Amino acid sequence: MKFIDKQLVSPFEIAERLGIVTKNGNPHGQLIRSVLGELQISYVKRSSSKSFLYDEHCIQQVRWWFYQHVGIDFPDVLHVAGVRYIVRYLPEEEKVSTVIVA
C-alpha cells in the first residue's frame, strides 16, 4: 500500500489562492486563520511557533464559508469571532504577486 503525502498549505497560501487580501493587497492570513477556527478545522502540522499548516482540502470549506457569509456583496469589513477585518477581494485566478498598482 502506497501512502500519498497530503498537500499542506498555510493560511497565507489559502488567502492567496482565494484572492482574499488586506487593504494593502497582501494575502489576509489572519482572516483565514479566524475562518478556519470558526469552521473548527484543526491544523495538520505546526511549522514554527506562529505558523500552522492545514490540509489543502480545507480550501473548499473556506471558500464555502465566504460564499455563505460574503455572497455577492463583497463587504470591505468582515467580523469573524468578534474581530473586525478590513478585506479586499481579487479574482481567484489572479495571483497576488501579479497585481500591479499604478
Task: State pLDDT tens for residues 54-75.
Answer: 999 999 999 999 999 988 888 9
State the pLDDT at residue 49: 65
State the pLDDT at residue 73: 85
pLDDT > 90 fraction of the chain, expressed in percent and rounded:
68
pLDDT by residue for the chain (102 residues), tens only, comes to 444 556 999 999 999 999 999 999 999 999 999 999 999 999 998 877 678 999 999 999 999 999 999 888 889 999 999 999 999 999 875 554 444 343
pTM of this prediction?
Answer: 0.81
- Exposed e or buried b per residue across 17-26, where buried means at least 16 C-beta atoms within 10 angstroms of its C-beta: bbbbbbeeee
**How is the chain split into domains, by residue range?**
8-98
State the pLDDT at residue 100: 38
Contact 76, 31 (CB under 8 A): no
Q: Which helix (H) or strand (E) holds 62?
A: helix 58-69
